[in-house]
Amino acid sequence: EMESYKHFLAVLSAAAAFGIVSIIFVLRWVLHYREGLAWDGGLGEFNWHPVLQISGFIFLNGAAIIVFRLPWTWRCSKLIMKFIHAGLNLAAFICATISFVAVFDFHNAAQIPNMYSLHSWLGLAALVLFCLQIVLSVIIYLMPFSPASWRAAFMPLHVFFGRSLFGSVIAVALMGITEKLIFGLSNPKYKDSPPEAVFVNVMGVLLVAYGVAILWISTRTSWKRPNDLA
Ligand code: ASC
């Protein structure tokens, strides 16, 4: 009813604000405090990594998770909404993949080892599992030959692992942010709280707030899309 709709709009607005401000923050981080953006094997190429993770992997995956809950889409066909959900997740996956290439390129050019940190292990695991989720879900939910029994049986896993991956990617981003502040800040160092450190810490808080708002919206059963008849 009306009250519930007002609550939905309030939480959705909060989620949108946290997400959009996170993207503005990561752009200001790399463009103002850091070396900007480039594709030359240098730090400008590394900087695509946080930009594409936050605007791509995190923001677009969060949007995909809640897209069925937007009341103004309930008149659209279920199939169209499934394509929008899949398309947002595919775009998130492409951003995450380019973002991985950016770090590997940067490391290789600077002779920094790859895949030694916990951030890198969990990040690569998340990317691989996200890809697996997309492939299995396209087969099960978009292929016409897939039986209704598969669709129903896989749905709790699809939803649980979708939410888990979204939360995990935010946690992995927080590790990456912390690493970068420890590695990247010298004179004054991270422990001396220069303006960049405080700014980026705030960005981490915004990412957590975005994650919580998206997971709140996606776990309110009363805000679910009404089942399509026939
Ligand atoms: C689909 C679809 C759903 C689920 C449901 C099984 O393909 O559109 O809503 O699978 O039928 O949980």
pLDDT tens figures, 95-115: 999 999 999 999 999 999 999
Q: Are 103 and 49 in contact (CB under 8 A)?
A: yes
**Sign of the Cα pseudo-torsion (20, 45, 123, 143, in order):** positive
**What pTM, to 2 d.p., does this model score?**
0.97
The DSSP 8-state label assigned to residue 143 in this structure reads -
Question: Considering only CA atoms, which residue is closest to atom 4 of ligand 1?
Answer: 151
Pocket of ligand 1, candidates 80, 155, 157: which has the most ligand atoms within 8 Å of its Cβ, to mutate?
Answer: 155
What's the rounded mean pLDDT across residues 189-206? 98
Mutation to probe ligand 1, out of 151, 158, 229 (largest number of atoms < 8 A from CB): 151
Summarize the confidence of residues 130-156 as an average pLDDT.
98
Residue 43 CA to residue 157 CA, distance in Å, equals 39
ipTM of the complex: 0.89
Q: Tell me, using a 6 A CB cutoff, whether residue 159 lines ligand 1.
A: no
Please tell me the distance from the alpha carbon of residue 91 to that of residue 219, in angstroms, as a whole number. 23
Q: How far is the CA of 150 from the centre of ligand 1 (A)?
A: 9
Give the mean pLDDT of 61-78.
98
* 178, burial (CB in 10 Å: exposed 0-12, middle 13-18, buried 19+): middle
Can you tell me the distance from the alpha carbon of 92 to that of 53, in angstroms, rounded to the nearest whole number? 8
pLDDT band at 228 (very low <50, low <70, confident <90, very high): confident
Q: Tens digit of pLDDT for each residue in 4-55?
A: 999 999 999 999 999 999 999 999 999 999 999 999 999 999 999 999 999 9
C-beta 141 within 6 A of ligand 1: yes
Distance 151 CA to ligand 1 centre (A): 5
> Is the minimum distance from the CB of 142 to ligand 1 under 6 angstroms?
no
C-alpha 33 – ligand 1 centre gap (Å): 46
* Separation between Cα atoms, residue 212 and residue 192, nearest integer Å: 30
